[in-house]
Amino acid sequence: MSEARNQFAATLLLILAVAAVIAAVLGFHNLRTYPLHDDGVTWLDHKARDGHVRVVAGYILPGGPGDNARIRPGDELVKIENFPIHTALDVPQALFRIPLLSQARYTLRRQRIEFQKDNIFIQAASRDSAFYYQYAVGFAYLAIGLFVYYRRTSASKSAEFFILCLASFVASCFHYSGKLNTFDELMYWGNVVASLFAPAIFLHFCLTFHAIPDWLRPRGSSIILYLPSGVLLGLIAASATGVLTFSTPLLEVRWFLDRLTLAFQMLLYFTGAAALGWEFARAQDPILRRQLKYLRNGALVGLTPFAVLYAIPYILGVVPNHVMNLSVLSMGLIPLAWAYAITRYRLMDVDIIFQQGYVYTLATLAVIGAFYGLIFLIFNTSSIRPPAFVVLIAIATFLFQPIRRWIQEQLDRRVFYRDRYDARLTLIEFARELSSETDQNGMLAKVSERLLRTLSIQQIGFFLLNEASGEFELHSRTQKSDRPPKPVSRSLDLSFLNDAVGKPYLFFESTKHLRDVVSRELAPSIRDTITELDFTYYVACRSRAKTIAFLGVSRTTEGDFLSSDDVELLVTLSNYVAIAIENSRLYSSLQRKADEYERLKEFSENIVESINVGILAAGLDDRVESWNTQIERLTGIRREEAIGKTLSELFPPDLVQKFDELRGEDGVHNLYKVALRPRAESAVDDAELSRNGNAGLQLAASSSRQQRESLVNLAVAPLVSKEMKQIGRLVI
């Protein structure tokens, strides 16, 4: 439900942002194409003692048409040409009927004496160039707000931050042109509403950035912050619509309300900056302190010049001039400071976008240069034909990618990564070599050391899947410093890793203060575990569509988040790590089985050795694989000489023939009173047989050294595997 609500809010805010941009662009176009007719005089309504309203000159622009015609403050305007003037609102209507740069005849009254001025030029009202700088400030706000919100929709305060940026955009970019149509009214009231509520949103954002104050926790209590803005908006609307009437001329009332509005804005903005400073002094988390510091400093650096150069003089009644208007540029330092904080701590990968932007810009310029260079060097630009033009475009297209790769490599090597470039370049090669590692602990230690050095991160950890329980367990933690990592409690709740199976990685922006929407839904034990481990990223190590481990990675040693390039590098490396873990586990399993086989073999040989009869085992090819001490004493052939030889090489031919007759037979077959004739010419005793051995079979029935024939009883049985397949035979 919360996800659907977030998606709806994101869609609605996007629609509002698009509509605001379209309106701002149309308004800017109207300002550029619709000049206001002006005579250089500010005309005011003045109510006389007899109740009649007179239109008198209030402010005269030095060097303007009115000043050149020697109009003085207090002169009453009777009519322009044949258009009678009854109120100050009649003046723009009369001026609009007169073509620009033409002369008009004014009928004036001074000290009850009526006279005419025939040489007053009507010119286009000049707009200070600094006025357009507000658009740059507004679009900077909106661009940063859009980027932050739609890259981190679920993050805490992201929606409030975007609404603040959108309101600041409207306040900076909504200006009426003077047409006084419905669109002009929309632009005017949009500017008024945004100018009043943007400071309140800023104050609300600053007060609740780290933690919500107790007095703002009750439901609906935040309306207190917006109530003054609403009251001031009602006052402006009432005076503009005539609900409230004043004896003072409407233009002077408007000027007073403008100054009051600006004073109100400055009060809220500086209160918000003070709130950030207060939170900065109280914050303990170093990352939070840095965020608060940049927000506070950005607000102060942006507000102070504007307040000193423009706001305070304007509030005191000074008419704005070009220098005062230029101070609006300092307001752009607020989003720039926030953008720097985002770039500095890599919250949204702005730095990577800038890097790629540099690369593509330089590559595009190089291709354009090559394109036009070929045109001017090879062809006559006035007679170039379409086929040749197409060929040149194709050449430029093929050149773009190699040039882009070369520029990317050079910038990475010399600007972006510098001394870390070679280490990053060989990291994937290092990962491919991990599959040859058979020692799991040693392999993970090498990965930790390499990542700590290459990415300059604070600490790294591995969480391996326990195949028996199906749960992930902390295997190891390594810090970049020489100090060992702090011990963790045994009651770590790592169940969130099981829930993350299938995702490439998990990201926790602030491990000490889990405030985003996703983190608030986690169990308290899980939040405690994330805080204690202090890993910002948990990268899944997947092999054959199965997650067998997680790689825990902290921020960098400078407190920065990893860039998207770094995260992508980790995701790629993690797959190689998963394969290496599987290989090491398989090797360990085979090693255990081999050790178990050796132990069983040794155990079996010990049993065979303990039996006081001769025993041998041969494979299907009749080669001897086992030869105990008793048969060694009986035959005089040492074990080292017998192992690997065939039965025909060790036994007399007549006995070998009987063995061949029993080949492939099941069950135990007994051979009684088998006559054995030794191959050697003399028999030896047991001690001599054990020392020297013999090339033939001799059975000694007594200690006599005389050669004689012996009769023995033999048992021949097949050797079978667990699957009941014959693998050899046993002779006893």
Specify the pTM.
Answer: 0.54
DSSP 461-513: EEEEE-TTT--EEEEEEEESSSSPPPP--S----HHHHHTTTSSEEE-S-SSS
Q: How confident is the model at residue 696 (pLDDT cuts 50, 70, 90)?
A: very low
Q: How confident is the model at residue 274 (pLDDT cuts 50, 70, 90)?
A: very high
CA 428 – CA 477 distance, rounded (Å)? 22
CATH fold for the domain made of 37-124 = Pdz3 Domain (2.30.42)
What is the greatest pairwise CA distance in the chain?
A: 168
Which of 202-206, 360-364, 709-713, 725-729 has the lowest average pLDDT?
A: 360-364
Bridge partners of 80, per DSSP, are 83, 106
In tens, the pLDDT along 320-370 reads 877 787 788 788 778 777 766 555 544 444 444 444 444 555 666 666 666
CA 434 – CA 549 distance, rounded (Å)? 15
Does the domain spanning 424-588 belong to CATH 3.30.450.40?
yes
Give how far the C-alpha of residue 604 lies from the chain's centroid of Cα atoms, to the nearest Å: 61
Bridge partners of 710, per DSSP, are 676
> Which pLDDT does position 342 carry in this prediction?
56
CA 525 – CA 621 distance, rounded (Å)? 64
In tens, the pLDDT along 172-225 reads 999 888 777 888 889 999 999 999 999 999 999 888 877 778 788 788 888 999
> Which pLDDT does position 705 carry in this prediction?
41
> Which pLDDT does position 352 carry in this prediction?
44
Both tokens of residue 447?
Answer: 């990965």
CATH number at 2-24+132-348? 1.20.1070
CA angle 389, 391, 392 (to 5 degrees): 65
DSSP 79-101: EETTEE--STTHHHHHHHTSPTT
DSSP category for residue 309:
I
- The SS3 call for residue 175 is coil
For residue 300, the surrounding DSSP H or E stretch is: helix 286-306
Q: What is the 3-state secondary structure (H, E, C) of 225-241?
A: HHHHHHHHHHHHHHHHH
Bridge partners of 59, per DSSP, are 42
> Which pLDDT does position 203 carry in this prediction?
92
- The residues spanned by each domain of the chain are 2-24+132-348, 37-124, 351-416, 424-588, 611-731
Is-same-fold flag (424-588; 611-731)? Answer: yes
Both tokens of residue 660?
Answer: 């061949």
In tens, the pLDDT along 75-109 reads 888 888 888 988 888 888 888 888 888 888 898 99
CA 247 – CA 366 distance, rounded (Å)? 67
- Of residues 285 and 443, more confidently modeled: 443
For range 690-712, the mean pLDDT? 45
CATH number at 611-731? 3.30.450.20
Q: Give the list of residues 6+ apart from residue 121 with CB closer than 8 angstroms, or none.
A: 65, 68, 101, 102, 103, 104
> Which pLDDT does position 255 carry in this prediction?
84
Sign of CA dihedral 611, 613, 614, 615: negative
DSSP category for residue 651:
S
CA 732 – CA 714 distance, rounded (Å)? 6
